[in-house]
Amino acid sequence: MTRLSVNINKVATLRNARGGNAPNVVKVALDCESFGADGITVHPRPDERHIRQSDVYDLRPLLRTEFNIEGHPTPEFIDLVLKVKPQQVTLVPDSPTQLTSNAGWDTKTHLNFLSEVLDEFNNAGIRTSVFVSTDLEMIEYAAKAGADRVELYTEPYATAYLKEKEAAVAPFVEAAKVVRSLGLGLNAGHDLSLVNLNYFYQNIPWLDEVSIGHALICDALYLGLERTIQEYKNCLR
């Protein structure tokens, strides 16, 4: 079964726009779990423009499903993850000024750095995932660095899907086969939606997890959060 992890960053963005605590990030996360989400993802950034470090600490003792913290492995991020000890940490190559994650790691160039960071998390008993493109060499070097999983960056798929879905998914299927041959787990995320998720899943049914935030929260404005989560779960069946 492919698990659905709901990224709640956009909920925190809405809260931060007015200050205060509405919407309540912790309550939304717990509601997502009760509505069927298999996990919660957060991406704390240095400027705390959405998820704050305090949110991460508030969420950890209350979540009943899998907690995934993603981000760029700065010293502050590494310290946070080691203190909180989520079930999974996902490393992304964001700079502090990036609006959103928009590229995978060059795992060959950063092999030594990633190896050191991954060793630290693996030794702490935290499952590790590295955000990568479909470039097969980047996947191979993620394995060499010691990652437990990779997360495929799926924006190129989502962009091309509306034009020619067979061509859009083809490089992801090839990459997913290489991931499996290397003995790595497989996650995917970025711009997956109710429009394109089921086709992606049909072609790569051995996906371990998808992490979805922006599209899911947008859909929830129209459908409601509970129905939206169920619709996304239906795409993974």
Chain segment 183-234, per-residue pLDDT in tens: 999 999 999 999 999 999 999 999 999 999 999 999 999 999 999 999 999 9
Q: Is the model more confident about 101 or about 85? A: 85
Q: Which domain holds residue 174?
A: 45-210
Q: What pTM did the predictor assign?
A: 0.95
Tell me, yes or no, whether 174 lies in a domain.
yes
pLDDT at res. 103: 77
Q: If you average pLDDT over every residue of the chain, what do you get?
A: 96
* Catalytic annotation present for 70: yes
Is the residue at 3 inside a domain? Answer: no
Do the domain assignments include residue 182?
yes
Catalytic choice (66, 72, 190, 209): 190
Residue 94's pLDDT band (cuts 50, 70, 90): confident
72 annotated active-site: no
R_g of the chain, CA atoms, integer Å: 17
User: Domain tally for the chain?
Assistant: 1
Identify the burial level of 202 via C-beta atoms within 10 angstroms of its C-beta, where 0-12 means exposed, 13-18 middle and 19 or more buried.
Answer: exposed
- Does any domain span residue 40? no
So what's the pLDDT on residue 99? 52
| Active site (annotated) includes residue 120 | no
Instruction: Report if residue 158 sits inside a domain.
Output: yes
Q: What is the pLDDT of residue 100?
A: 59
- Does any domain span residue 117? yes
In this structure, is residue 215 part of a structural domain?
no
User: Of 70, 140, 151, 209, which is the active-site residue?
Assistant: 70
Output the domain CATH number for residue 144.
Answer: 3.20.20.70
Coil vs helix vs strand at 189: strand
Cα distance between residue 147 and residue 131, in whole Å: 10
- Of the candidates 43, 50, 140, 209, the residue annotated as catalytic is 43
